[in-house]
């Protein structure tokens, strides 16, 4: 992609240096901290030079404690990746601002937090193993940048636009949240649990389509380079539910899909990319 490094978005928060510590559960009895839990806290307080006993509030069966991670020293390569994430964040949200303005609405920006290993979120404790995710409670996208290496090595989807597609998909979830689509889906899932997976798939496919809408805008401005659309399609295919189930040695079970098949994910990204029109992203049509 054609972009210039160096610009940092006001919607970006860098927690890489302050997160990444391990979290542990300290057991204690119903009446207070048990002897075993007390000893654990004392030992860990000595090791990490932190008063973990002061974090204990009592009342319950366990307490989670974030332990300090190793000192963070970013590489030049990772700092360039941070610049790229900021570019995609700014460009995608600028595109949605324009789309909302055309329909007489205001687009409230999402925030994006870069972290290492784990961090607190409005939706609970977020961990890198979950991959990038959007929390509707605090309107924030969370990403451990190491995911991009996994996208390349594990999923076989390298390239700038593959990375951009993942982030644009999460911004797509923010658009759904702003429009009230996410809340409608949650209500439908609660009233009809048997159709919860199907509704989840439709929601995820729409976010794929919204990512394609942004991709269309980048192509019109000559930001994309030759072959980059294929990078996004490769990434969409690589994280399809059917492919992930096969790679994990499981039987492909469409009833258990939550994000859609590889074919569906590519199809809906392409629908948004070819049209550039959010109206083309009605994955709920027919319900």
Tens of pLDDT along 204-251? Answer: 999 999 999 999 999 999 999 999 999 999 999 998 999 989 888 998
- Phi/psi for 279 (5° steps) reads -65, -20
- Could you give the CA distance from residue 227 to residue 256 in angstroms, rounded to a whole number? 33
- Phi/psi for 242 (5° steps) reads -65, -40
What SS3 state is found at 64? Answer: strand
Q: What is the pLDDT of residue 40?
A: 63
* Residue 27 predicted with pLDDT over 60: no
Radius of gyration of the chain (CA): 21
What SS3 state is found at 200? Answer: helix
Tokens of 12: 């970006």
Q: Could you give the percent of the chain with pLDDT greater than 90? A: 62
Q: What is the pLDDT of residue 58?
A: 47
Q: In terms of Cα–Cα distance, which of 81, 218, 240 is closest to 148? A: 81
Q: What does the pLDDT average to over 69-73?
A: 65
Burial of 184 (C-beta count, 10 Å sphere; 0-12/13-18/19+): middle
Tokens of 110: 């999402």
What SS3 state is found at 141? Answer: strand
Q: How far is CA 113 from the centre of its chain?
A: 10
Q: How many residues does the chain have?
A: 287
* Residue 12 predicted with pLDDT over 90: yes
């Amino acid at each position: 992609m054609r972009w210039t490094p160096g610009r940092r978005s006001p919607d970006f928060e860098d927690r890489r240096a302050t997160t990444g510590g391990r979290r542990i559960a300290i057991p204690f009895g119903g009446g207070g901290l048990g002897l075993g839990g007390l000893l654990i806290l004392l030992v860990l307080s000595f090791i990490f030079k932190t008063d973990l006993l002061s974090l204990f509030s009592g009342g319950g069966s366990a307490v989670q404690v974030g332990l300090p991670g190793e000192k963070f020293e970013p590489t030049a390569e990772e700092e360039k990746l941070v610049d790229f994430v900021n570019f995609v964040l700014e460009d995608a949200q600028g595109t949605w601002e324009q789309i909302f303005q055309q329909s007489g609405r205001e687009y409230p920006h999402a925030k994006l937090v870069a972290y290492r290993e784990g961090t607190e979120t409005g939706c609970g404790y977020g961990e890198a193993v979950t991959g990038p995710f959007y929390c509707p409670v605090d309107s924030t996208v969370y990403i451990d940048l190491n995911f991009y290496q996994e996208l390349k090595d594990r999923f076989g989807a390298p390239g700038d636009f593959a990375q951009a597609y993942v982030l644009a998909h999460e911004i797509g979830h923010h658009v759904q949240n702003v429009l009230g689509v996410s809340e409608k889906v949650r209500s439908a899932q609660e009233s009809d649990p048997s159709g919860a997976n199907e509704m989840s798939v439709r929601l995820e496919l729409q976010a794929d389509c919204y990512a394609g809408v942004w991709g269309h805008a980048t192509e019109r401005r000559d930001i994309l380079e030759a072959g980059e659309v294929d990078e996004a399609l490769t990434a969409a295919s690589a994280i399809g539910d059917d492919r992930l189930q096969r790679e994990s040695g499981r039987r492909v079970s469409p009833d258990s899909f939550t994000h859609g098949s590889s074919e569906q994910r590519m199809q809906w990204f392409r629908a948004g990319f070819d049209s550039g029109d959010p109206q083309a992203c009605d994955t709920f049509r027919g319900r």
